[in-house]
Amino acid sequence: MSTSSRRSFLQQAAASVGLVLSASTVATLVAGCEQDESQPTSPGKTYDVSLAAFPELNTVGSIIQTTIAGVNNGEMVFISRIDAQTFVVFSTVCTHSGCGVGLPIDAASNCVCPCHKAEFARSNGAVLRQPTSGSATDLPRFSSTYNASSNVLTITV
């Protein structure tokens, strides 16, 4: 076999291998780009909370800590009143080490984790100050809607 024939054979073999590898890579990329257009099997589960049981939430800017069966895996949540029609519901479990974050000590304070002093906004659970060691992220929030005529807060998880 001449050098020219050998070179031609090796080039064709390499091209064939490259084509096979490229085809499988392209197929994988195309499959990964396909969008899942199916609808979720069920919308989020909702929980209704009568705010009549929490008179402390009558004031804009107030915040409470409570347990709502089915929400936050049985852990407590904060319910913060933002304005006349808006409430924000978020977890009390610190994202740094899982400690229970406490209620603000007064109307001007935020929520602070007692374990490593991470600070979270009383209005929405956003991290304001990182813990003394490591890092934290915003406290998980739960979607909610308020019906003023019935004084019921509906939380979706």
In DSSP terms, 155 is beta-bridged to 47, 144
Percent of the chain with pLDDT over 70: 73
Q: Is the pTM of this model over 0.75?
A: no
pLDDT digits (tens, 9 = 90+) for 92-149: 999 999 999 999 999 999 999 999 999 999 999 999 999 999 999 999 999 999 999 9
As its CATH architecture, domain 46-156 has 3-layer Sandwich (2.102)
Domain ranges of the chain: 1-38, 46-156
- 14: tokens are 């390499």
pLDDT digits (tens, 9 = 90+) for 46-103: 999 999 999 999 999 999 999 999 999 999 999 999 999 999 999 999 999 999 999 9
Q: How far apart are CA 154 and CA 46, in angstroms?
A: 6
Mean pLDDT of the chain: 84
Residue, of 67 and 29, whose pLDDT is higher: 67
